[in-house]
């Protein structure tokens, strides 16, 4: 299979490295914001070329699939070109910062195009374990966290480019909540720029936030996030159930019941799993094992981007059906 990679940063490299270990897969094209960066990545593969124009890349090479690993503000144009040419794509979260994902999701659906979104928490063994335990439990409420330090890439601290922490990072926890507990009906957010704008020049993102979500099935969730910490502290989701607490954290899952705590860890690397499942879907034409399609991920986008509106107006936002 011939694969193209759009983006030459941290996560394009992560996918490139995973793809290099999957047999029958060849990354033959890299698209960067400069030809130097694209060619530097291309040199790591025996048969790859660097590009700066996506049309030129797709005119010159017949690619089976393309990975889009660019910052949130750079989405839209790449997806649209791939849709025009009917080329399956894997796109890193978040889907964007504006409205484009809604139109893209409609076109993906109309074309029946195979897509996958980088919500790798869904592919974790631990998440699957908690999902199976939930068959026998009733969840009352959920508490989610992304209590961390600020990533120092310049686009991340600019709210117009990243969408802010809730859209860029905490999106994983919102997506996990949807996957484990159900769809969200209403969102209310309180955000503040408490100190990072004084510490880091050009920082326009909120650095503390608390979001209350009401699900259609009545479950209530609170998801907190901050990027003021000097060191990462806590990332995960706790579910409060009729038989105790279930927790998926960044490195394990726990089933905490009266008198017992069971711990589960991941056997497989979820990034490798999501890549293999996407490539198998492209190879066979059967997308049924993909756990996060573009059409599904757009619902997470709707929730995370609604928080900005809620925080600005001080009012809850009701999710329209999409």
Ligand X SMILES: NC(=O)c1ccc[n+]([C@@H]2O[C@H](COP(=O)([O-])OP(=O)(O)OC[C@H]3O[C@@H](n4cnc5c(N)ncnc54)[C@H](O)[C@@H]3O)[C@@H](O)[C@H]2O)c1
Point out which residues bind ligand X (CB under 6 A): 6-12, 31-33, 37, 69-72, 74, 92-93, 118, 120, 153, 168
Distance between CA atoms of residues 79 and 107, nearest Å = 10
The CB-of-152 to ligand X minimum distance in angstroms stands at 10
The CB-of-138 to ligand X minimum distance in angstroms stands at 30
State residue 104 phi and psi, 5-degree precision: -60, -45
Distance between CA atoms of residues 177 and 143, nearest Å = 9
CA–CA–CA angle 98, 102, 108 (5° rounding): 130
The nearer residue to ligand X, 219 or 298, going by C-beta atoms, is: 298
The CB-of-70 to ligand X minimum distance in angstroms stands at 4
The CB-of-318 to ligand X minimum distance in angstroms stands at 27
The nearer residue to ligand X, 5 or 139, going by C-beta atoms, is: 5
Q: Which residue is nearest to ligand X (CB)?
A: 9
The nearer residue to ligand X, 179 or 188, going by C-beta atoms, is: 179
CA–CA–CA angle 83, 57, 285 (5° rounding): 45
Residue 69: which H helix or E strand, with range? none
- Residue 204: how many CB atoms within 10 A of its CB? 14
The CB-of-35 to ligand X minimum distance in angstroms stands at 11
The nearer residue to ligand X, 97 or 215, going by C-beta atoms, is: 97
The nearer residue to ligand X, 12 or 253, going by C-beta atoms, is: 12
CA distances from 18 to 204, 272, 279 (A): 34, 6, 12
Q: What secondary structure letter does DSSP report for 112? A: T
Residue 143: which H helix or E strand, with range? strand 139-147
The nearer residue to ligand X, 154 or 316, going by C-beta atoms, is: 154
The CB-of-76 to ligand X minimum distance in angstroms stands at 10
The CB-of-105 to ligand X minimum distance in angstroms stands at 17
Contact 266/124 with Cβ under 8 angstroms?
Answer: yes
Question: What is the pairing mode between strands 2-6 and 260-264?
Answer: unpaired
Contact 206/165 with Cβ under 8 angstroms?
Answer: yes
The nearer residue to ligand X, 37 or 178, going by C-beta atoms, is: 37
Contact 205/164 with Cβ under 8 angstroms?
Answer: yes
């Amino acid at each position: 299979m011939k694969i193209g990679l759009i983006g030459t940063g941290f996560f394009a490299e992560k996918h490139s490295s995973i793809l290099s270990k999957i047999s029958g897969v060849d990354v033959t094209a890299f698209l960067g914001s400069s030809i130097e960066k694209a060619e530097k990545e291309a040199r790591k593969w025996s048969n790859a070329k660097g590009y700066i124009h996506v049309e030129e890349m797709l005119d010159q090479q017949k690619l089976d699939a393309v990975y889009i690993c660019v910052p949130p503000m750079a989405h839209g144009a790449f997806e649209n070109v791939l849709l025009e040419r009917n080329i399956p794509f894997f796109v890193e979260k978040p889907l964007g910062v504006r409205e484009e994902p809604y139109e893209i999701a409609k076109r993906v659906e109309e074309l029946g195009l195979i897509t996958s979104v980088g919500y790798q928490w869904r592919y974790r063994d631990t998440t699957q374990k908690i999902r199976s335990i939930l068959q026998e439990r009733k969840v009352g409420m959920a508490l989610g966290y992304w209590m961390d330090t600020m990533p120092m890439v310049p686009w991340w601290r600019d709210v117009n480019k990243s969408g802010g922490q809730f859209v860029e990072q905490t999106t994983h926890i919102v997506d996990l909540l949807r996957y484990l507990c159900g769809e969200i009906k209403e969102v209310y957010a309180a955000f503040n720029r408490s100190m990072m704008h004084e510490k880091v020049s050009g920082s326009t993102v909120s650095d503390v936030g608390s979001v209350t979500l009401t699900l259609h099935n009545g479950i209530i969730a609170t998801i907190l996030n901050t990027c003021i910490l000097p060191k990462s502290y806590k990332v995960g989701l706790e579910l409060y159930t009729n038989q105790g607490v279930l927790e998926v954290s960044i490195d394990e899952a726990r089933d905490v019941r009266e008198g017992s705590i069971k711990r589960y860890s991941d056997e497989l690397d979820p990034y490798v799993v999501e890549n293999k499942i996407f490539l198998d879907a492209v190879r066979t034409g059967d997308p049924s094992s993909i756990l996060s399609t573009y059409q599904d991920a757009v619902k997470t986008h709707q929730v995370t981007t609604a928080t900005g509106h809620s925080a600005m107006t001080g009012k809850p936002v009701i999710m329209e059906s999409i």
